[in-house]
Structure 1
């Protein structure tokens, strides 16, 4: 992909090669970091891959359940195929029996981001744990803000539409083996307040696993379905809490968050869905990110070989600030 280069302003330097005073005091530019936010199921991972493959980026996971080893189905980790060879950090690396705190996240994420930026790659922080993201970006010493400039992208989907999608996604997770995965983690003395056991998809099956060996097939099927329905309900409640936090970060803390409405892409199927995603989410994000990375003004956009025609026009209409 062709990239546009910034043209440095022409400065008149006096004879003798003396550096102007204002140049001596100027600070080096901050490193750029992208943060992709959104409720569970809205397509954050998909957008992060879209952006990483176009802007030479690497992903830093900020989902507090996906940092743990195992439970790939229940925690809905991105698959190797979906990752498209994009490197992912803080994904599936923590012992599932220990607590991973926001302090732990800030320490490990900071190291990952520094490493990525040091290799001249773009760090893309992605995940639904907004408390982790907030702790990292707005740390008490303001170190992160002093070192990095952030571009916040928010993938949003209408809640009724998202709830339907979440329900269908849980059904797919069941088909892919979610119940068996949960069963492997079940213990009669399980503590659902520690480590990965807090993940939605484990506590909901506890009662079912306790009585499963002692009930008939009909009762077993009924209890299993009740547990699945509880997973769906709790996931929808999580999405609502995540949305509330994003509103708070934007409205109360003043984060400049770019909202991208992906609802229409979720209402369509197949190629029509892909087209809507590109026009309403991917293309506008590329425009926003290109400006952010290159400090372009409002009338300069990324190379048209990447964003074309209707997609570009739609991007300018739908990308809100």
Structure 2
């Protein structure tokens, strides 16, 4: 796989920041805050957010939330196409090339840890030969994270998630490919198929689908955490853990003071030291 990066000719490693963590831990906010502070651009590493459509279900960052920070690999793939890990690696390298040429810092953020591991560890790419990596791990204690995940699903429902899924529903839907793999689409399938059922039955099916979505998201959280711990313990990645538990333990979308003290301050210190270490 060709790198195509002009800076490689200087034999100087390119610095890349990774932001990892389970869903709902604040990865998106941290990536944007660091990009604004250090002059970076963000590369999405969520394998479902690469697809167009289902923006609420996939929890894509909005234009307003981006605060003008350029995002790459976000909502650019046809909803019914397959986007493989090899496709991901190819597009990440191209995005890094563009970001470096813009004189900015690449920040790779998202929850698809298998894709990130393949990018970093694939011997055909030799990523670590060309890039100096800083790994930030957003972590939240499970009881607090479980509550936050369930709350976020409710927020997605309030934002119009059900109507969004309904607009893409087709009777022959394939939930094994494309954007329909996203948690939220298959769970509501029975609800949208129950056109002839009475209102009470449909209400029950909708409630069951939303609850199943919460349960499946919690299962995803466990898999994501296990994967990160494997990268730390087996791969020996030097992960800088940021404990964001205080940010979310009082409910709501987050405590700003706790965010600044527990997440932003330590992450800025880590990234500053990383960027200054030549």
Q: Give TM class, smaller chain.
A: over 0.9
Describe the SS at the equivalent of 2:175: coil
The RMSD of aligned alpha carbons is 1.4
1:224 aligned onto 2:206: yes
What pairs up with 1:1-321 in 2 under 5 angstroms?
Answer: 28-211=11-194, 213-268=195-250, 273-295=255-277
1:191 Cα deviation from its structure 2 partner: 1.0
Aligned residue-pair number: 269
Q: Please give the alpha-carbon distance, in whole angstroms, between the structure 2 residues aligned to 1:97 and 1:260.
A: 36
Query: Structure 2: how far apart are the matches of 1:270 and 1:245?
Result: 27
C-alpha deviations, 1:26-46, integer Å up to 9, x for none? x73211000000000000000
Deviating beyond 2 angstroms after TM superposition, the runs of 4 or more aligned structure 1 residues are 268-272
Deviation at 1:184, TM superposition (A): 1.3
Question: In 2, distance between residues paired with 1:269 and 1:158?
Answer: 13
The structural deviation recorded for 1:220 is: 1.2
List per-residue Cα deviations over 1:118-157 (Å, max 9, x = no partner): 2220000000000111111111235211111000000000
Counterpart-to-counterpart distance in 2, 1:285 and 1:29:
24
Greater relative contact order (Cα < 8 A, sep 6+)? 2
Q: Which structure would you say has the larger Rg?
A: 1
Q: Unmatched 5+ residue regions in structure 1?
A: 1-26, 297-321
Give the TM-score normalised by structure 2.
0.94
Comparing 284-293 and 215-224, the one that deviates more: 215-224
CA displacement at 1:218 relative to structure 2: 1.4
Residues 51-83 of structure 1 show CA distances to partners (whole Å, capped at 9, x for unaligned) of: 000000000000001000011000000011110
Distance in 2, Cα, partners of 1:164 & 1:58: 31
1:273–1:135 CA distance, 2 compared to 1 (3 A): same
TM-score (norm 1): 0.81
**Aligned to 1:254, what secondary structure does the other structure show?**
coil
Check the 8 A contact 2:44/2:71 in 1, yes or no.
Answer: yes
Query: Secondary structure of the equivalent of 1:259?
Result: strand
Alpha-carbon distance change, 271 to 204 in structure 1, aligned in 2, over 3 angstroms:
closer
CA distance in 2, matches of 1:272, 1:293: 28
How far is the alpha carbon of 1:271 from its aligned partner? 11
Report if aligned partners of 2:119, 2:125 keep a CA contact under 8 Å in 1.
no
Q: Name the CA distance, whole Å, in 2 between partners of 1:142 and 1:100.
A: 18
